[in-house]
């Protein structure tokens, strides 16, 4: 990758709700790091409106504007050719992402996004991983609330286990559980992506990778957490298991369970029933379009609503009959914390923190180097400690 490219970072999809929040974070971070950057998207007037609201302190901090859109492959390649790192907040990624990823690989440009669509990420791995390795390009989806804090949380937890044991986990059976609690509103773009993902829901392809599997989760009361736990079918579990395959240091027999946590059983049961009903409704195109119209693209929670958002991920590992725990926590999950996570991941890559190539996961691409930068924005990884037996 040549250093003569005009931009260190280009943000594609900057005029959307999430894109504007990421642009705000980039304006502050790129200025502090002395990085050159640009905003990109379909409509220059909308990009100008976003740029006019940025906290810019010097004419040298003002980002350029680039016009590109997913239906024009030449514009995508031209945009990718000018960037070292390209961030995409333009979802749903099933419709928008494939051509852009191809353009980045062809131009030797590292790529990050916020994709939380399991089938889309699986497609990227199957179709683009080997080419990205050959081209020495890092393709890194899932760099927001789904699934960066869970994925790095598992890595952080197992690093603490190894330190306590004084040995690696190469010959060990390792069981890891992650329970998620969160409160936050949703934007129109995220709502549309969720409906598209539910409409395309199907079992993910099984991939080889040693003894890496799901740990069965049944509705239960977790005495250690004083919470009810229900299975949570998000992309996080697939991302964690893929990290185990790519890294190869999670244990000889690694099993993982992902669940939602709540204080009371009936509200948790109602939530599960609601998700099941929404999944069924999303299969019918007219109903899906009607649901999407309830929250149009471009709308999202106010600054006050984002300020009230929070998340907490409780993680535990069992090895040799002993147990360890840690916790990852932060502010507004879908937007405030997500914008910070994506920005810091991009800055790490822009600073030369590319340790591997291919279609990767946060844990396999970024490691624990990102944790101090995440903490600066309120995403905290608690120390790993021995936990009580269940």
Same domain, 224 and 314: yes
Domain membership flag for residue 360? no
> What totals of helices (H) and strands (E) does the chain contain, helices first?
14, 16
The DSSP secondary structure of 6-46, one letter per residue, reads: SEEEEEETTTSHHHHHHHHHHHHHHHHHT--EEEEES-HHH
SS3 327: strand
- Whether 119 and 245 map to the same domain: the answer is no
Gap between the Cα atoms of 273 and 223, Å rounded: 24
Residues 154 and 232 placed together within one structural domain of the fold? yes
pLDDT at position 265: 81
How far from 382 is each of 145, 211, 225, 325, CA to CA, in Å? 17, 28, 15, 9
Two structure tokens written together for 222: 């977790």
pLDDT of residue 128: 97
Residues 124 and 261 in one domain: no
Task: Give the integer Cα–Cα distance in Å for 217 and 256.
Answer: 9
Tens-level pLDDT at each residue, the chain (390 residues) = 445 899 999 999 999 999 999 999 999 999 999 999 999 999 999 999 999 999 988 878 899 999 999 889 999 999 999 999 999 999 888 877 799 999 999 999 999 999 988 889 999 999 999 999 999 999 999 999 999 999 999 999 999 999 999 999 989 999 999 999 998 877 666 666 666 666 655 444 445 445 787 777 778 888 888 889 988 888 999 999 999 999 999 999 999 999 999 988 888 778 777 777 777 777 777 887 777 777 666 677 888 999 999 999 999 999 999 999 999 999 999 899 999 999 999 999 999 888 899 999 999 999 999 999 999 999 999 999 997 655
Place of tokens 């900057």: 14
Q: Is residue 141 a contact partner of residue 362, using CB atoms and an 8 Å limit?
A: no
CATH number of 139's domain: 3.40.50.720
Q: How many CB atoms lie within 10 A of CB 63?
A: 24
Residues 316 and 192 in one domain: yes
The pLDDT assigned to 203 comes to 43
By CB atoms closer than 10 A (0-12, 13-18, 19+), residue 194 is buried
User: Helix 188-199 to helix 93-107 angle, to the nearest 10 degrees?
Assistant: 100
Q: What is the pTM of this model?
A: 0.91
Residues 165 and 131 in one domain: no
Task: State the sign of the Cα–Cα–Cα–Cα dihedral 230, 233, 238, 240.
Answer: negative
* Within-domain flag for 279: yes
Please indicate, yes or no, whether residues 89 and 166 belong to a single structural domain of this protein: no
Give Cβ neighbours of residue 157 (< 8 Å, ≥ 6 apart).
176, 315, 316, 317, 324, 325, 326, 384
Q: Is residue 77 part of a domain?
A: yes
- For residue 294, tell me if it sits in a domain: yes
Torsions phi, psi for 82 (to 5 deg): -95, -5
| Same domain (yes/no): 277, 212 | yes
For residue 132, tell me if it sits in a domain.
Answer: yes
The answer to the question of residue 167 being in a domain is yes
- pLDDT (0 to 100) of residue 248: 93
Cα 203 to Cα 200, 233, 245, 299: the distances in Å are: 10, 11, 19, 31
Sign of CA dihedral 143, 144, 146, 147: positive
In the chain, where does DSSP find H-type helix?
Answer: 17-33, 44-52, 73-81, 93-107, 118-135, 148-165, 188-199, 236-247, 265-282, 285-293, 303-308, 336-350, 362-366, 371-375
What's the token pair of residue 325? 């725990």
Angstrom distances, CA of residue 116 to CA of 18, 67, 188, 193: 14, 25, 15, 8
Tell me, yes or no, whether 85 and 212 share the same domain.
Answer: no
Q: Are residues 326 and 184 in the same domain?
A: yes
Q: Look at residue 202 in the predicted model and tell me its pLDDT.
A: 47
- The answer on 69 and 153 residing in a single domain is no
Q: Which domain holds residue 45?
A: 7-144+343-347
Cβ atoms within 10 Å of 58's Cβ, excluding its own: 7
* Residue 358 within a domain: no
The reply to whether 194 falls in a domain is: yes
Domain count along the chain: 2
Same domain, 173 and 139: no
């Amino acid at each position: 990758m040549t250093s003569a490219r005009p931009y260190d970072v280009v943000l594609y999809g900057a005029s959307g709700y999430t894109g504007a929040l990421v642009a705000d974070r980039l304006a502050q971070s790129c200025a502090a790091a002395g990085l050159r950057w640009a905003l990109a998207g379909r409509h220059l007037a909308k990009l100008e409106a976003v740029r006019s609201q940025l906290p810019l302190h010097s004419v040298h901090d003002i980002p350029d504007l680039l016009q590109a859109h997913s239906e024009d492959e030449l514009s995508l390649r031209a945009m990718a050719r000018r960037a070292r790192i390209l961030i995409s907040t333009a979802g749903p990624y099933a419709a928008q992402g494939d051509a852009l990823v191809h353009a980045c690989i062809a131009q030797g440009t590292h790529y990050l996004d916020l994709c939380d669509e399991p089938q889309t990420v699986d497609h990227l791995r199957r179709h683009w991983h080997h080419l990205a390795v050959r081209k020495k390009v890092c393709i890194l989806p899932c760099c927001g609330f789904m699934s960066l804090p869970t994925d790095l949380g598992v890595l952080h937890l197992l690093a603490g286990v190894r330190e306590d044991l004084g040995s690696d986990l190469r010959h060990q059976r390792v069981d890891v559980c992650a329970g998620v609690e969160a409160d936050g509103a949703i934007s129109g773009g995220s709502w549309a992506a969720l409906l598209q993902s539910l409409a395309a829901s199907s079992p993910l392809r099984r991939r080889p990778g040693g003894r890496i599997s799901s740990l069965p989760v049944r509705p239960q009361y977790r005495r250690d957490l004083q919470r009810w736990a229900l299975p949570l079918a998000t992309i996080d579990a697939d991302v964690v298991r893929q990290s185990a395959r790519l890294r190869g240091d999670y244990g000889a027999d690694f099993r993982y369970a992902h669940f939602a946590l709540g204080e009371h059983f009936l509200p948790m049961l109602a939530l599960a029933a609601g998700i099941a009903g929404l999944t069924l409704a999303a299969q019918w195109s007219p109903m899906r379009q009607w649901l999407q119209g309830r929250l149009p693209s471009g709308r999202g929670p106010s600054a006050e609503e984002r300020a009230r958002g929070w998340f907490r991920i409780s993680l535990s590992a069992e090895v040799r009959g002993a147990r360890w725990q840690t916790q990852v926590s932060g502010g507004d999950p879908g937007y405030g914390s997500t914008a910070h996570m994506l920005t810091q991941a991009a800055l790490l890559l822009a600073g030369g923190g590319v340790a591997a190539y291919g279609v990767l996961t946060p844990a396999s691409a970024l490691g624990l180097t990102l944790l101090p930068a995440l903490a600066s924005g309120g995403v905290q990884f608690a120390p790993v400690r021995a936990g009580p037996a269940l």
